[in-house]
Copies of this chain bind each other. A is one copy, B any other.
Amino acid sequence: MSDAPTGEMLMRQDAEEHLRKGIEAMFFAYRGFTADPDRILADMAYGRAHHRAVHFINRAPGTTVNNLLEILGVTKQSLNRVLRTLIEDGLVESRVGTADKRERHLFLTEAGQALEQALSNAQRDRMRAAYSAAGPEAVAGFCQVLEAMMDHDLLRMYRLLSETDK
């Protein structure tokens, strides 16, 4: 019934194995990626959603709610719950737009910046260690593959974010 595997079949098998390894690597690595900030957030009344909001407000100060909604890819009800607590706790400031008064522009307060720093320092420390362990060529490949994995519109947003800071 089954013939001996051809060279091409073996190559394909190898490629499938690489895919599977990559999938599992993503799973385990993402756990590490979020572990350190999660530990900091666990003590407070905040979670990963707060981290993401604070990160992108810091990244693009003055961004509007709609903008943030697109970046985060959640519903406005979901974001609003997070945003409300951050504003109540004095970590985020919401200013009425000048050009368009319907819009709210979001900024981190000093306390908000302090939290953002604490969270991203923890995350960056791990990232820095991984980068220096793997070396610069590996890092380039890492980013290339990640970009290729993104949905089209998310890739657009990712690139837009990088462009804005010259």
Q: Is the CB of A127 within 8 A of B19?
A: yes
Distance of A29 Cα from B89 Cα, bound (Å): 31
* Chain A interface, number of residues (Cβ within 8 angstroms): 57
Question: Given the interface contacts A141-B137, A142-B144, A144-B138, does A23 sit within 8 Å of B123 by beta carbon?
Answer: yes
Q: Tell me the number of copies of this protein.
A: 2
Task: Tell yes or no: A140 within 8 A of B by CB.
Answer: yes
Chain A facing B: main interface SS: helix
With beta carbons under 8 angstroms apart, the residue of B30, B52, B148, B157 that contacts A134 is B148
Interface residues of A (CB under 8 A from B): 15-33, 35, 52, 59, 73, 120, 123-124, 126-131, 133-135, 137-151, 154-155, 157-158, 161-162, 165
